[in-house]
Amino acid sequence: MARGFAEQSGGGIGILSSPGHGTRIDVWLPVADGMADLAGRGADVPREAADGIGKHILVVDDDAVLRRFISEHLQLYGYDVMTAEHGAAALALLDAGARPNLVVCDLAMPGINGVDLITEIQRRHAGLPAILLTGFATQAAQLAAKEMSGAFVLLHKPVSEENLAAHVAMLLEAAEQE
């Protein structure tokens, strides 16, 4: 998955492993268009950030790197992001009063899987849109996802930042029109 993501982004990956000495993994990614300019603009935010202001996204993924990557990207669009490392932690956030406008969730997680988590969240909060991310291109993931109710999108990893942001915006807009 890491190699696919790096290559899809125009970069690469290098792995050097030596018994008894450990493993070194280098990931090379190009600077995203406009990001160099964005870094020097101080308090300015991307034009798309206005769309996310006031919207709360719950990101659930057991991989800390992916969770942080998704969260930071969505924050660039102005979304307020809360995170959970697994399904039980996500449900605890909801029990504590968190009210997200959308959930982004991994399929394969320890304990409760993404399909079951989204199903439970939508049972508690009818109509809450969700995005299920999966590295598995299996028909089983698609069939399991069909059992969910409510607004829902299944995206296969690696997913580009723009594709994820576009689906988030689309689901939130559809939820507002209901």
Q: What pLDDT is recorded for position 144?
A: 57
The tokens for 90 are 């996500």
Locate the domains of the chain by residue range.
1-38, 53-177
- pLDDT averaged over 10-residue windows placed end to end, the chain, 178 residues: 64 69 69 43 41 88 92 92 96 95 93 91 90 74 59 83 89 84
CATH of the structural domain 53-177, one choice from 3.40.50.300, 3.40.50.2300, 3.90.1150.10, 3.50.50.60: 3.40.50.2300
Tell me the per-residue pLDDT of 93-120, one tens digit each, with 9 for 90 and over.
999 999 999 999 998 899 998 989 998 9
Q: In what order do the strands lie in the sheet with 102-106?
A: 80-84, 56-60, 102-106, 130-134, 152-156
Q: What is the pTM of this model?
A: 0.69
**Does residue 24 come out as left (phi exceeding 0), alpha (psi in the -120 to 50 range) or beta?**
beta
